[in-house]
Structure 1
Amino acid sequence: MPTEPNERPVVLPGYHLHPEHHSWFARVLAQADAASLMAFTGGGEPAARYLTESQGKRHFDTFTHAGTGIVQDVTHIIHGKRFVGTDHVFRLNGVRVEAFSGLAEDLFDHLREGRVQQYRHEAHALRDSWPSDPWDAKGRGPVSLHPDGTVMALRRLRLS
């Protein structure tokens, strides 16, 4: 950072990118974001397609345990919109609960097909249109919708 003539320069942590590298860096960030979204929806292998070796691609290319190798195997309709993702069932103080993490199906389809820029454009256009109601009456539980099209939903499972 600029300083007075006789002062030591102030150095901040970080990286300087020259303008000729801005588009490359934007693609790297978009790919990393796509990988995190695919992992959030339960897909290790689909996440790996967006990672480099140094980012950990090898962790998803190897054998995975059946409980961790789930590939976006569940759809739910939340606030009238279809989401693709995965769910986990666990006990919370003895009560069986399902936690669903997913992405809006139309946005998910873009990432599944490798269309990262199309996902980014549509997610950006939709960012202010997601419902803000924290309760899904049909699912009987709390939901959190994020502007990027992701959802986390919880619901109590009925005893069978």
Structure 2
Amino acid sequence: MNCQHELKIKGEYFYEVLTGNKKAEFRKDDGRNFKSGELIRLREFVLIKVSTARTTFIKPQLIHTRREAIVLITDVTIVNDIYEELPKEPKFVMLSFDLISVIDLNKGIFLPWALKNTTATYTFQCVASRKRISRGWLNQQLWLSALCGKPILMI
């Protein structure tokens, strides 16, 4: 898909986008000029503490999980126009969006209507391989560990 914008999003907010609980995002415009009808690629990032063989301390790193969501902008509200006490620059926007698809670069493309939300796990129907993939919060750390190829400790 040809996305006009690419943004980072924290893991816990990414999950809320997947489950449909998060349908809007407050962002600094940065001269991107967001418009209704444009596509955004939301790239999931998590902050983890990695211990390496060379160091004895654990330092935090921002890691891309290789999961991405494609969303369609349905509405753009310029927050500076609503709240006059805010200066005109920098410009902030509230983006409303609908989930189009989810991409796991390790597994394939997932469609949002295949998402089944429960309190502990979320399940996708993988379009590419026709397999069902289930992830739970308890095995999230193990999944990230396998993804990064090194032991990690979640913050």
Q: Which has the higher contact order (CA 8 A, sep 6+)?
A: 2
Asked if these proteins are the same fold (TM beyond 0.5), I'd say: no
Q: Using structure 2 for the length normalisation, give the TM-score.
A: 0.27
Q: Which structure carries more helix by proportion? A: 1
TM-score after normalising by structure 1: 0.26
- Higher strand proportion, which one? 2
